[in-house]
Amino acid sequence: MTKAELGLFKLHVGIGWVAEDANGNPTDCDVSVFMVDANGKIPGDEFFVFYHNLTSSDGSAVHQGDNTIGEGDDEEIKINISKVDNSVIEMLFIITIYDADKNGQDFSMVHNLFIRILNDGKQKELCRYNLVSSFVGCDSVEIGRAYRSGDNWEFGDIETGYSG
């Protein structure tokens, strides 16, 4: 991302979906960011950014809050890559269905799931990935990652579903 867009520091990460169960009830999806170190671990709880911890301790990642209904980007995270703690080498973006077990919901009920990265200053879309798998039986999906590559940041798409 940073190689293609000189002077890029502020990212807008937008995640969107259409979700309802077989009865037409809304499916509440939530987005989280796991900021991990070289050992694949979160350096501390404050590097897990989600609707109950909106800002990472280094101030680099700011979740824009839980959105139960929306259009376009259903949930958004602003990231200032110049502020990311040096120990963090990767940011994993995960979407989870809130109370999936209780409500009998899974990702087969979520459609048009996407993640996109924009240059926040210019509102220019740098990349977009539309997921194609249905993830039957899964209550969370790892949808993408931003990672350090030397002095630059790259984005990689991921389609990995998890249950429980």
Average pLDDT on 54-68 reads 89
Average pLDDT on 99-115 reads 91
Residue 38 belongs to what domain range?
10-162
Tell me if 85 is assigned to some domain: yes
Task: Indicate the range of 2-16, 28-42, 70-84, 147-161 predicted with least confidence.
Answer: 2-16
Q: Which pLDDT score, from 0 to 100, does residue 25 have?
A: 74
Rounded (10°) CA dihedral 34, 36, 39, 45: -70
Average pLDDT on 134-139 reads 92
Tell me if 1 is assigned to some domain: no
Tell me if 102 is assigned to some domain: yes
Query: Residue 26 above 80 pLDDT?
Result: no
Q: Give the strand order in the sheet containing 10-19.
A: 61-63, 75-80, 10-19, 110-119, 124-130
Tell me if 53 is assigned to some domain: yes
How distant, in Å, are the alpha carbons of 13, 42, 132 from that of 129? 11, 25, 9
Query: Residue 68 above 60 pLDDT?
Result: no
Beta strands 10-19 and 75-80, pairing class: antiparallel
- 9 burial type by CB count under 10 A (0-12 exposed, 13-18 middle, 19+ buried): middle
Both tokens assigned to 118: 């924009």
Tell me if 122 is assigned to some domain: yes
Tell me if 89 is assigned to some domain: yes
Average pLDDT on 29-54 reads 95
More confident residue, 115 or 9: 115
pLDDT, the chain, mean: 89
Tell me if 57 is assigned to some domain: yes
Tell me, what CATH number does 84's domain have? 2.60.60.30
* Total number of domains constituting the chain: 1
| Residue pLDDT, tens place only, 1-23 | 555 665 678 999 999 988 877 77
Tell me if 4 is assigned to some domain: no
